[in-house]
Amino acid sequence: MTVRARHTSRPKHYAKDLLDVATMPRRQIQDLLRLAALLKKQQRRGTPHRLLRGKTLGLLFQKPSTRTRVSFEAGMNQLGGYTLVLPMGDIQLSRGETVSDTARVLSRYLDGIVIRTYDHSIVEEWATEAAMPVINGLTDHSHPCQALSDLMTIQEFKGRLKGLSLAYIGDGNNVANSLVEAGAKMGMRVVIGCPSGYQPDQRVIDRARMEGQTTGAAIEVVENPLVAVKEADILYTDVWISMGREREHARRLRTLSPYQLNQRLLQRAKPDAIVMHCLPAHRGEEITADVLDGPQSVVIDQAENRLHMQKAILAQLLSRTKGTR
């Protein structure tokens, strides 16, 4: 059995771009979860699903990447399309050409583009100027593709999303922002355990709490990590020193050391809690090796699901692009 066109049709009310989870309709997320699960099943059966034959995806990365780049490249290949890596030093953006000119020209060449950069306003500008779909591969503000694939992993291991409790421990960074948005969309309880000054974006929290009034989600921010993880179904952490924060290394280690995800915190969660980390991980800093590599860890499955969710995102956004070439 192969994936049929009806699985990849994009309703008119879906946005052209994927910039953050907050702007996505709940139905779109549900469709992505179903499609990603189907594509994963088909890949494991060896069933071709070349939904994007003849399509070309651009990858514009200003930050280092392993999982995001490889999953998008491999995923596009498995969908029958092509990828074109655009190193910043090799294109005219590095010599002063405007985003507007670059985006409008590349829209004539490409069917979509993934951008991994620092300032979130850059992907917003690309989305405004480009005729093709723009996908946020990570900014300092959000990491939507990660959060969407995390929903897939949680659903696989727990059988549902609504009503589950996710405790995120550590730095309230871009991943934390996107997990808050994703949990709010799907009716989850999301508790962020972090020190003062390291909370997620307050605008993200406020918007997610408003969303929760409709979906039944609950969003909490607490300073005590033991309180945050109590009776959690999912424990999640990320690196303490994100890209661009290297100068803050010593201060961050001092401040965040009480927020290490270790056996003490794991024992406060539910007995069947799963442990998640978006990787790369620094064993002995934000998480201990025995927890990261232990029996409750699902981090490798979580990383694999980046591939399947990325393919679903590409199929959903690019399958109906006509381009102006």
One-letter identity of residue 2: T
Give pLDDT, residue 316. 96
Q: Which residues are catalytic?
A: 116, 143, 146, 238, 278, 306
Q: Are strands 134-138 and 112-116 parallel, antiparallel or unpaired?
A: parallel
pTM of the model: 0.94
* Distance from C-alpha of 208 to C-alpha of 201, rounded to nearest angstrom: 11
Tell me the pLDDT tens digit for each residue of 254-293: 999 999 999 999 999 999 999 999 999 999 999 999 999 9
Q: Which of 83, 90, 128, 88 is nearest to 110 (CA)?
A: 83
Q: Per the structure block, which two tokens stand in for 287?
A: 């998480």
Give pLDDT, residue 307. 98
Length of the chain: 325
Q: What are phi and psi of 110, to 5 degrees?
A: -115, 160
Tell me the pLDDT tens digit for each residue of 79-133: 999 999 998 777 877 677 899 999 999 999 999 999 999 999 999 999 999 999 9
Tell me the pLDDT tens digit for each residue of 21-38: 999 999 999 999 999 999
Average pLDDT over residues 222-233: 98
Average pLDDT over residues 146-170: 98
* Distance from C-alpha of 56 to C-alpha of 81, rounded to nearest angstrom: 6
Which domains can be identified in the chain, with CATH numbers? 5-142+306-318 (3.40.50.1370), 145-303 (3.40.50.1370)
* Distance from C-alpha of 321 to C-alpha of 211, rounded to nearest angstrom: 30
